[in-house]
Structure 1
Amino acid sequence: MAVSRMCVVFGLFVGLVMAVGTASSAKFEELFQPGWAADHHVREGDVLKLKLDYYSGAGFSSKSKYMFGKVTIQIKLVEGDSAGTVTAFYMSSEGPNHNEFDFEFLGNTTGEPYLVQTNVYVNGVGNREQRMNLWFDPTKDFHSYSLLWNQRQVVFLVDETPIRVHTNLEHRGIPFPKDQAMGVYSSIWNADDWATQGGRVKTDWTHAPFVASYRGFDINACECPVSVAATENAKRCMSTGAKRYWWDEPTVSELSLHQSHQLMWVRANHMIYDYCTDKARFPVTPAECVHHHH
């Protein structure tokens, strides 16, 4: 079938939907499937809950892979004592030279703020961690977490506020993730060897199960069949001539002035670690840090 040979734009009336700034949410099972520990998945109406206990965490993955677009999930993080736990929301391709964009929510003892760690892998190389706290309690209600990805930039957003931008600097000889279709994933697991205060605070299993809740699953992106070569998928997800995809529009090729101010505010008030300024790990400042405009 002709459609199966090409990347398909997912989402009805994409141009119209994006023009008015709204996006339709699909049901979990339309886009995703349990990745592991299906017995630790609980459905309550439109809400999916993932449970972590002493025996297992849990995770889910998208049924398709995508190249460029925007992925959003609303998450309510583990309440109370969540020390040692990590809830992750990320996109990733496969193989040793994979690309990956990570949100990792690092649990904490009751009353201490959750930390959000982001990371970007390009061609299998990560070590680009940034950590920040949030301007709200992410355990009290659902908040939206989004990844926007096109040929010009990768943007991490929290409630539509940009918290990190990874810019295409290929003209400086720095690789950019733009040629591998990526799946969408989320999981919760025990990482008490590093997650909370560098591993000093361990998971208290008397508080198990630890539950992360999800809803508002939305993928507005270029869907890529596994059977198609990566180069073909990349071509099909780029705008050409009369075929204009929203993710290639100038309005999303860089942050707006308002978004730039939001990012500056987040970095000034909420960032607590940036690999770019870690001289112990990187005596020579990483190349992309020199050229990135934050």
Structure 2
Amino acid sequence: MGFHAFTAAVFALSLSLILRGSALAHEKFDDQFNVVWSSSNNILAYDDSKEVELSLTKAGGANFQSSDYFLYGSFSVKLKLIHGESAGTVTAFYLTSFGENHDEIDFEFLGNETGEPYTLHTNLFVNGTGGREQRIKLWFDPTTDFHTYTIIWNHFQILWLVDYIPIRFYRNLEDIYPGSYPHLRPMVVSACLFDASAWATQDGTKPVKWQYAPFVVKYKNFAFEACEVQRDGSTPCDHNYRANWWEGLYYQKLDEERRDQVMWVVSKWKIYDYCYDNKRYPRAPLEPLECNYNVPWVW
């Protein structure tokens, strides 16, 4: 077993022990989630296997979201992506608030032509402003088996993890750059499959090929360990948030091992980073200002 496989296995074991007691484990789909939009039969939920199947046809795709709102926590799901031709499609797992100045933390999987690797697109919106995209190629085929995708959002940083390997982090720099970190607006957990022919694959040059429809993606084993926002707007960890495991020292910054993992992803698999897009940001990487604090080699 190689270095990355070993560390991922150890981290997976520790996280699985933590998440085993998730409140979602024994709930039915309708108790956890609301359907936001769906064409006929485009959401199939199997309570016995904890699996949710979304499909995309010419009639449309599907979107569902958690009934509860959260402010900080760990949010995880297993996904098996569309097999074969998937150009023009986007599968998403993300956190989002609502309104003009919404916050959002994204995993988006951009479809591909048959035989090409999937692209994983991550992004962050704060106060309604996004434009913080990064893209990587996955180092495995995400269509043949389920893989685990996790967002850990705490008072110190956001971590995006694939099979428990951190692929990206984003530090809380509110003291330096106010309005740069999501910390005020509770978010729901959302999942969707939709037609994004205009931009998803090769900058929109490869639209959905409807002759291959229906396109099917499978979600299962949702696991949320988080601060649920109450009806009065309070959360159970307003005052004692440091007692939550996702706020612990291990998740407040990257240690040497996880810094090496992020650098491995950056060096081998990253294909786009907004911090180095000189067309959008002529002074990159000096601006956007948060970029200089969100690279692993500065730790």
Aligned ranges for residues 53-132 of structure 1 at < 5 Å? Answer: 53-132=57-136
Aligned ranges for residues 206-225 of structure 1 at < 5 Å? Answer: 206-225=211-230
1:287 corresponds in structure 2 to 289
TM-score w.r.t. length of structure 2: 0.86
Residues 67 and 237 in structure 1, CA contact (< 8 A), matched pair in contact too = no
Distance 1:239 1:254, change over 3 A: farther
TM-score w.r.t. length of structure 1: 0.87
1:14 corresponds in structure 2 to none
2:43 corresponds in structure 1 to 41
Amino acid at match of 2:33: F
CA shift at 1:21, angstroms? 4.3
Aligned-partner SS, 2:175: helix
Structure with bigger RCO (C-alpha 8 Å, 6+ apart): 1
CA distance in 2, matches of 1:32, 1:254: 32
CA distance in 1, matches of 2:18, 2:43: 31
CA distance in 1, matches of 2:16, 2:273: 34
Residues 18 and 246 in structure 1, CA contact (< 8 A), matched pair in contact too = no
Residues 150 and 162 in structure 2, CA contact (< 8 A), matched pair in contact too = yes
CA distance in 2, matches of 1:21, 1:147: 15
Equivalent of residue 141 in structure 2, options 131, 137, 157: 137
CA distance in 1, matches of 2:42, 2:19: 32
Residues 118 and 131 in structure 1, CA contact (< 8 A), matched pair in contact too = yes
Aligned residues: 272
CA distance in 1, matches of 2:85, 2:215: 9
2:266 corresponds in structure 1 to 267
CA distance in 1, matches of 2:19, 2:289: 36
Aligned-partner SS, 1:276: helix
CA distance in 2, matches of 1:271, 1:209: 30
Q: Which runs of 5+ in 2 are unaligned?
A: 1-13
1:252 corresponds in structure 2 to 251
CA shift at 1:20, angstroms? 4.4
CA shift at 1:170, angstroms? 1.7
Aligned-partner SS, 2:250: helix
Q: Which runs of 5+ in 1 are unaligned?
A: 1-16
Residues 171 and 293 in structure 2, CA contact (< 8 A), matched pair in contact too = no
What value does the CA root-mean-square deviation take over the aligned residues? 1.9
